[in-house]
Amino acid sequence: MTARIAQLSWICVVILTLTSHLAAQDSSRGGHLTDTYRPVAGQLIGAALTDEVGWEKLIYLTTQVGHRLSGSIGLEKAIEWAGETMQKEGLENVTLQPVMVPHWVRGAEHAHVVGPVERRLSILGLGNSVGTGGETIEASIEVVGSFDELEELGRERITGKIVLYAVDWEGYGRTVQYRSRGASEAARFGAVAALVRSATGNSLYTPHTGAMNYADDAPRIPAAAVTVEDAAWMRRMAEAGETVTVQLYMEAEMLPDAESANVIAEITGSEMPEEVVVMGGHYDSWDVGQGAHDDGAASIAAWHALTLIHQLGLRPRRTLRVVLWTNEENGLRGGNAYRDYVKDVIDNHVAAIEMDGGNERPIGFGVTVPGAQGPSRGMPGTPDQQVANSRTQNALDLTSQIGVLLEGIEGGLITSGGGGADIAPLMQEGVPGLALRTVGEHYFDWHHTDADTIDKVSPVDFKKAVAMLAVMGYVLADMPERLDGR
């Protein structure tokens, strides 16, 4: 009860602060969008911060449905529930767009060190990996810190071994390559399996799974993630001249593609219904944890933003659409299927917004207009690039005006560079992309682990995300001009 009172008190303070902040803004601060949409932004933010239904939806998704890997009963249960609930809430044109998705099954898995000491290894098989063929692989570990080290050791040292990528954490973008293609690179030199240090900077003995890909020109060998602690231990053992021998058993297998769906709903535009602003997150997750940060909170936040807009009786000029994309984690089938679904009217998509970086404290949006590229070596760029650069600046100017409306909840930072995996197919066709940004302090501590659970999500941060998506989505759909200036 004390925590509930504290939360309500905080919300009241935020609303009062926001109201005074917006009222005190000078007309020169922001621009015409700031002035025009100040009242509706206040409505949306107030509704989002005092609402409890969105949070209850997230509790249901994470607690009663749980993780939602493509092809699983959990994902299909979540899809059916979302479609039915959207209908009850009065959202329009609710559609379950059919998508065939990969169906990878983990099965039982375990690993043990059998020499020079005995100890258990905590592992998570990497998504799309093959299994060990019903047998236990026993082999010595060859530790490498990079692909260059792997190549230097060569086939003579690697054949018959289990390669361990005990790589340093250099941020997700640089480190994830070892998870993605490490197995195929090791297999080229005769490795029988690959273990990969989990892609995280911090660990409490928690392995992180994630998708891996096999090259067509290399044998397919089993691949699993190990904890940061175990990777460091095996590396130190190797440096001490000790040979570590491991037994690995994995039942992982890829089954035939399964039926799934993107969940789509919208508020039809009042004046230009053919033009669309689409926003959402990916509804699937890995088969561990609850998929709370990745990407359940984002999916529910985008969905509930539309629900609040509808409940307030607001209808923008353009159509505002939410999509809960399926199969982002190990196939990207949902994003590609949506692109194909709207291929004849892609030019009518004026913006696409994605949230897929967890739901820590949200701070703003990144924005990209495809085709923009800065001058190179003193040259101004091609005429097409100059046009795209101009459109990017126009988009940044407009979204910055919208950002001013979010400063009262510390969500007004607008930067260049936005997008996401599920809206990438749209952006490749020229649709401007936005990404909701957070502080990103702990996301990769929980990413793709059993620890990605709802207790890691703050209700306050979730409600802020709902508010930010509602304001940004509504204004982009209602403002007179298109975001890219066309």
Cα 127 to the chain's mean position, in Å?
16
Q: In terms of DSSP H, where are the helices of 405-457?
A: 424-428, 443-446
The CA distance from 214 to 195, in Å, is 15
Nearest to 48 by CA among 475, 467, 469: 467
Q: Cα 38–34–418 angle (5° rounding)? A: 115
**Kind and range of the H or E element at 20?**
helix 2-24
Write the Ramachandran bin of 228: left for phi over 0, alpha for psi from -120 to 50, otherwise beta.
alpha
CB 328 within 8 A of CB 356: yes
Q: Cα 271–277–283 angle (5° rounding)? A: 140
Residue type, 361: R
What stretches of 134-174 adopt beta strand conformation (E)? 137-144, 162-165
CB 146 within 8 A of CB 176: no
Q: What is the DSSP string of 331-342?
A: T-HHHHHHHHHT
Catalytic residue among 185, 275, 328, 329: 328
Nearest to 473 by CA among 300, 297, 266, 261: 266
β-pair partners for 92: 266
Return the percent helix, strand and coil in the chain, to nearest 5. 40, 25, 35
Give the contacts of 39 (CB within 8 A, at least 6 positions apart).
none
Q: What is the largest CA-CA distance in the chain?
A: 73
How far is CA 187 from each of CA 136, 264, 351, 369, rounded to the nearest angstrom? 18, 41, 43, 40
| 8-state DSSP, 225 | E
Asked whether the CA dihedral 362, 176, 195, 223 is positive or negative, the reply is: positive
Catalytic residue status for 328: yes
How far is CA 137 from each of CA 110, 249, 258, rounded to the nearest angstrom? 11, 6, 30
How far is CA 176 from each of CA 170, 201, 246, rounded to the nearest angstrom? 9, 12, 23
CB 127 within 8 A of CB 71: no
| Residues annotated as part of the active site | 328
